[in-house]
Structure 1
């Protein structure tokens, strides 16, 4: 299924956070949202999985306004892995993943063999099959992230919405998760701070800045040195990855895009002026 976002406006306390966003995620493609902190990425994704109601505009699922669906219908189509994980679950790992089957069950209905198979497969996909009996509260941050992703997989949605899914994961599990998303080829909306990960895994990128979509296209079309300077405030070169051929962004960690002066000079000037640290720290790589 395809997601289309039309003229989306979202506001908090009278302040506009997303302003007139037009973007889409094509069926079977991985569509990435990138942008500096506070650019509106998480807010936009929350409207897709119906955590927020937009002030104006629509989110369409293959032409149907998601707000016209019941919560159960929406949950059968869209599964989310938000940044905020909510409270700790006093449940086993397997029980947490089995929560993904809720949209398909009648109240108080018991798990059947199909549910058990789907849950087991989801745990295996994220490398947590051997931890099914552990308490969720005993897990590390990275392990919890993988369990919650398994819960989303167990939901068997048409659309995955993932907000910073590689947070808390070590390098190996980041690579495995991104490879799993590529292999699944399910319509996916994902926000990523790591621009090289975005360039590697995403078919299409939308760049947000101050609540506006400022660029859209393939990673090679979008992730240019000029955009790095304008949106992220950093100097960067874009080259071909020696192993994959994907765009690879090399950041200059000694200078920002504004003045070309050294990071040491910026730190000293910022300390004197009492301003924020080097803007290059906005980009997590």
Structure 2
């Protein structure tokens, strides 16, 4: 590889398939996830959702090799990632973890340029391809004019976008994003989710906002107490029964009036009573709001524009 800028491995242009098979991870002798099986097809956005403590972050950490499972394996295009050199997986998998680290006493450009490291020889400087890739990544996240600023001087949302730009600069085939909309205002949440839709990249993403997950994900995997309890298309998975059982909320699923996709409306007045789960026609929009109607979980509206285990 000359100059450290270009790729040396063939890329599909549509991402690479990720399979997680029979995953088991423990902390301090306590099993956190057990028997987890999930996948993301090439170019697909697969969401990992579940209550706090369900094991979402643990599963994602095994994909970007922050954790080694005690059993099971993670396959990248059919190959066990633990059999690959870290330098090779770094060219294919980029991550935006929840743990952001401390303040970087670097410029935003320098932080984003770290994403080019897997393609560079030791002590090699940036070439034109590197600089163009970094500039494009900054523009993608709305920080085109921020390259010369100190990373430590950015707001929480700006830091989040800069770190996402670093992942984009890595030019990965697989993106692993753990709560990427944290610290972002509504507009930037919507922009980020639209940006994910437009990238030819397999994506594994954990999201707390179920409406955001329903709007952006092709497939959802629902975790509860360290196991996968449901997988499939959002409309198939996000049922009132599952929302009551797994998330402990009383909710209905209706048609989004703007997008036609599923919209989860949660009753904010009380938690779920499993013996009295509301039902609703998932394809019908209520014509009149009843007294004290359930309120919709706040979520970015599709079509307009990343510690503790979660």
TM-score (norm 1): 0.91
Alignment-derived partner of residue 62 in structure 2:
47
Alignment-derived partner of residue 172 in structure 1:
187
Which of 267, 277, 290 pairs up with 1:252?
Answer: 267
Which of 26, 40, 49 pairs up with 1:34?
Answer: 49
Which of 90, 94, 103 pairs up with 1:88?
Answer: 103
Alignment-derived partner of residue 22 in structure 2:
7
Q: Residues 24-173 of structure 1: matches in 2 within 5 Å? A: 24-173=39-188
- Determine the C-alpha separation between the residues in 2 that align with 1:129 and 1:138: 16
Unaligned 5+ segments in structure 1 are 262-282
**Contact 1:30–1:185 (8 Å) recurs in 2:** no
- Determine the C-alpha separation between the residues in 1 that align with 2:229 and 2:275: 24
- Determine the C-alpha separation between the residues in 2 that align with 1:121 and 1:251: 39
Alignment-derived partner of residue 21 in structure 1:
36
Structure with bigger helix share is: 1
Alignment-derived partner of residue 268 in structure 1:
none
- Determine the C-alpha separation between the residues in 2 that align with 1:145 and 1:284: 20
Deviation at 1:88, TM superposition (A): 1.1
- Determine the C-alpha separation between the residues in 2 that align with 1:244 and 1:57: 39
Superposition CA RMSD, Å? 1.4
**Contact 2:17–2:202 (8 Å) recurs in 1:** yes
Alignment-derived partner of residue 190 in structure 1:
205
Q: Deviations over 1:220-245 (max 9, x none)?
A: 00000000000000000100111111
**Contact 1:193–1:284 (8 Å) recurs in 2:** no
Alignment-derived partner of residue 304 in structure 2:
none
Stretches (4+) displaced over 3 A:
none
Deviation at 1:87, TM superposition (A): 1.5
Unaligned 5+ segments in structure 2 are 1-15, 277-296, 300-310
Residue 130 of structure 1 aligns to a residue whose secondary structure is: coil
Residue 208 of structure 1 aligns to a residue whose secondary structure is: strand
Residue 37 of structure 2 aligns to a residue whose secondary structure is: strand
* Distance verdict in 2 for CA 1:245–1:284, change over 3 Å: closer
**Contact 1:92–1:136 (8 Å) recurs in 2:** yes
